[in-house]
Amino acid sequence: MQNKFIVLSLIACLIIAGTSCEKTIPGAPEDDQILDGPIEGLTPEQNRIFLNGDVAFNGDVFSAANGLGPMFVANSCGSCHAGDGKGHPFTTLTRFGQSDTLGNKFLMQGGPQLQNRAIPGYQPEKIPAGATFSNFTPPANTGLGFFEAISDATIMAMADVNDANGDGISGRPNWITIPQYSELRPGTIVRNGKYIGRFGKKAAVYDLLQQTANAYNQDMGITSTYEHFSTYKNQDIEPEISNQKVLDVVFYLKTLKAPVQRDQNNPDVISGKQVFLNISCGKCHTPQLQTEPSSIAALSNKTFAPYTDFLLHDLGPALDDKYTEGTALTPEWRTPALWGLGLSKNSQGGEYHLLHDGRAKSIEQAVLMHGGEAEQSKNKFQQLPSSEKTKLLKFLESL
Amino acid sequence: MKKPITLLLVILLVKTGFAQIDPDLLRSPDRDSTRIKLNMDAVYDRPFLQAAKLPVALGGYAEANYQYLGTDGITEGHQFQMRRLTLFVSSSIAKRIKFLSELEFEDGTKEINIEFASVDFEFNPLLNLRGGIVMNPIGAFNQNHDGPKWEFVDRPISATQMLPATWSNVGFGVFGKKYLKNWVYAYEAYLTNGFDETIISNSENRTFLPASKANRDRFEESFNGAPLLTGKVALRNTKIGELGLSYMGGIYNKFQDDGLILDDKRRLNVFAIDFNTVLPKINTFINAEWAWVNVDIPETYTEQFGTKQQGGFIDLVQPIIKKPLFGFERAVLNAAIRLEYVDWNKGIFSSTGGNISDHIYSVVPALSFRPTPQTVIRLNYRYNWQTDLLGNPAAKLAGFQFGVSTYF
């Protein structure tokens, strides 16, 4: 009798285990709670390339054996962009050597990027005497394909170089020199041999291929056919990574989904957005943009909400590190996208590290550190009744 | 033409038949693999098959399992795995000279390792010399790792993902035991080849002692010429249980080559404590191990690689039914649970002063059925919470595992 009971119990256990497999594993987080994952509508072929890029981005770890360094900032892409979100000060990088629009005078002394770590037996780089510098916390990767898919004309349409409308805000693009390997977008606008940059804290990067090849080279000390200069030897060396891998990562970055806003129907969030617009935050943090036709159909003609205008704005002396890139002035910064802002803590170790170098530890602090062209908006924010302020912050956290 | 061939085949078959060993001559002592003696005895505390008076005995064990695990909604689906097939060969060369070897095939033939192959010379119970490929006695699991002894499909995370079980090296050492009434005192000390720089330069992106297992050259030459010292003292009371304290340490990096200085000498030190007992009356078996790892890493390297690690596990195994079942005279049904924790990077970020995470908690409730002491059928449910370096929300892994493991 007991044997039968044991047999039946064991069979029951096995049946329960076997038939409820899906229910025994932890559920996936809601789509609006995470930043990683592909955009909707990729083809099976594109899904494969996305997965290859995902493995390279989040799985590849470089060591001395496969090319790391010898001097470096991080040893994998994922080290700086956990969950494809904003980075932690632990992998904040330092750029140095350029203090005006005439270019970087410290290129032959290791500029523009400091490799502050080194594999055992080697010494890391140090900032040369006399060089100004700025620290950059890694940005989120989400929705970068949408950034790539807007036109230069769209960016130019938001510019107001001479503040013609007299609102105190005068966004302008960063005109940069681009690498030979960058492929020009349809409708690219050229001015005196320079192009509009749209990636990076200073908008000094033209496209995701430049961003990726540079990150391998400058952050990890990995050479490719695109960026073949060794940061250690300061001369050409063999590629340490294949073109295929670089292109897979570029595709991965292009096809990461846009962050999904949470609590969109919450009345406070809706009111908060109105406050955001009322105090003119939306003049730089543009709420809505439209992509152009793209070779990736899922990115074509899409309306998206990045809350950036891709333009440079003077944010005042407090945020002026006396370092710059391209034709940006030292107090000028490209408007950072606000989408995904509320999820930043989940990739920054549970705390906010906002603004270009992570100095702001809350959204409110970040707002209050704005100056220059944003001075008026900051003042309006300070004068808001606390209920309005709360709603505005709630809206920003929902992004 | 057919007739001579048939005749030849018959002769061959008959001769082969005569050449086979009479099964009656094979002796397979019925050992209870669940009753652990001292952990250091584990290599000999295994069932062997011996043919008549031949001095060589054979044995081994196999482990296979099925699992369905998933992390945050993503699963690899149904997985069937042949985790291990291990063969033992032992020989009594003379009355007090023994040879024992353990050859392991992991994941089919993905990894083939000689885990143990040493000659033991007994001069005195307190003084034995061991030489060859030895299992470094750090903690208890490294030496006492045979699958059929455990109620869990997976090996402990701290033993395999922080400590490098199964960790073997070429070297020599001494060991001995002293019995005093209800007490046994024992020691072991070995000098062997050691670790290498892959422990801080690997694809795991963390300080990872098991990375050195990939260096096959360690059975032929030391990476840096500096020996690894492993030592352990253990005592056991027949009524209380066994307590072990162990240490493993040495220089892991290549500090010079061809007489040229390449780097400072950098050490790693590992301390471990292990304990096991059976509670009287209720017969609950408790087995626990905890270890601390300390690695000297250049300050200019990345904080991704921790200088301090710690972790361990505790197994509680409760026999529920212990009686003849289904025709198995010594059948036992156990309920068990394993609690695990590993922190791969104990420290703080220099940039923020915040805690570095990179840790895992795990709970594994289990049911195991032992038709004989040497064979186990086990059903586990695993739940892990793993936090990345930065302390972001934990990734949750869970699912069922079912497996069998048996000595043969």
- How far is residue B302's CA from residue A118's CA, in Å, rounded to a whole number? 8
Q: Which among A25, A63, A83 is the nearest to B75, CB-wise?
A: A25
Q: Are A184 and A196 in contact (CB under 8 A)?
A: no
Q: Which of B266, B388, B396 sits opposite A26 (nearest CB)?
A: B396
- Residue showing tokens 């059948």: B331
pLDDT of residue A288: 96
Is residue B9 pLDDT above 90, yes or no? Answer: no
B242: helix, strand or coil: strand
pLDDT at B353: 92
- The predicted-structure confidence for A169-190, as pLDDT tens digits, reads as follows 999 999 999 999 999 999 999 9
Residue B122, chain A, CB below 8 Å: the answer is no
| Closest Cα in chain A to B392 | A349
Using CA atoms, how far apart are residues B314 and B339, in angstroms rounded to an integer? 5
What was the pLDDT predicted at A17?
65
More reliable by pLDDT, B108 or A153: A153
The answer to whether the Cβ–Cβ distance between A119 and B379 falls below 8 Å is no
Identify whether A325 is part of a domain.
Answer: yes
Question: DSSP letter at B40?
Answer: G
Closest by alpha carbon to A299, among A61, A46, A66?
A46
Spatial neighbors of A173 by CB under 8 A, at least 6 apart, are: A155, A156, A159, A196, A197, A203, A310, A311, A312
Confidence bin at B405 (pLDDT 50/70/90): very high
- The band of B47, judged by pLDDT with boundaries at 50, 70 and 90, is confident
Q: How confident is residue B1, by pLDDT bands cut at 50, 70 and 90?
A: very low
Q: For chain A, which ranges sit under pLDDT 50?
A: none
Write down the pLDDT at residue B17. Answer: 38
Q: DSSP 3-state assignment of B67?
A: strand
pLDDT digits 0-9 by tens, A241-291: 999 999 999 999 999 999 999 999 999 999 999 999 999 999 999 999 999
Torsion of CA B198, B204, B208, B214, to 10 degrees: -50
What ipTM was reported for this prediction?
0.89
**How crowded is residue B40: how many other Cβ atoms within 10 Å of its Cβ?**
23
CB A92 within 8 A of CB A135: yes
Sort strands A303-304 and B260-261 into parallel, antiparallel or unpaired. unpaired
Look at residue A202 and tell me if it is in a domain. Answer: yes
| Domain-embedded: residue A7 | no
The answer on pLDDT for B128 being more than 50 is yes
Q: Does B325 touch chain A (CB under 8 A)?
A: yes
pLDDT digits (tens, 9 = 90+) for B138-162: 999 999 999 999 999 999 999 999 9
Helix (H, G, I), strand (E, B) or coil at A220: helix
What token pair was written down for B405? 């493991």
Instruction: Give the model's pLDDT for residue A170.
Output: 92
The residue range of the domain holding A264 is: 31-398
Q: What pLDDT band is residue B21 in, cutting at 50, 70 and 90?
A: very low
Q: Which backbone phi and psi does A291 adopt, to 5 degrees?
A: -85, 160
Residue A3, in any domain of the structure: no
pLDDT digits (tens, 9 = 90+) for A221-230: 999 999 999 9
Is B202 close to A90, i.e. CB distance below 8 A?
A: no
Measured in whole angstroms, the distance separating CA B119 from the mean position of its chain's CA atoms is 20
Is A25 inside any structural domain?
no
Quickly state the pLDDT bin for B95 (edges 50, 70, 90): confident
Q: Would you give the DSSP letter of residue A227?
A: S
Of the candidates A61, A117, A119, which has its C-beta nearest B205's C-beta?
A61
Query: What average pLDDT does the segment B345-372 reach?
Result: 95
Q: Which fold has domain B26-407?
A: Porin (2.40.160)
Q: How confident is the model at residue B19 (pLDDT cuts 50, 70, 90)?
A: very low
- A-facing residues of B in 205-224 (CB < 8 A) are 205
**What is the per-residue pLDDT for A235?**
86
Domain total of chain A: 1
Q: Does B78 touch chain A (CB under 8 A)?
A: yes
Q: Is B400 on the interface with A (CB under 8 A)?
A: yes
CA distance A48 to chain B (A): 16
Of B298, B300, B325, the CB nearest to A6: B325
Q: Which residue has the higher pLDDT, B3 or B366?
A: B366
Report pLDDT for B23.
40
Give tens-digit pLDDT for B226-259: 999 999 999 999 999 999 999 999 999 999 998 8
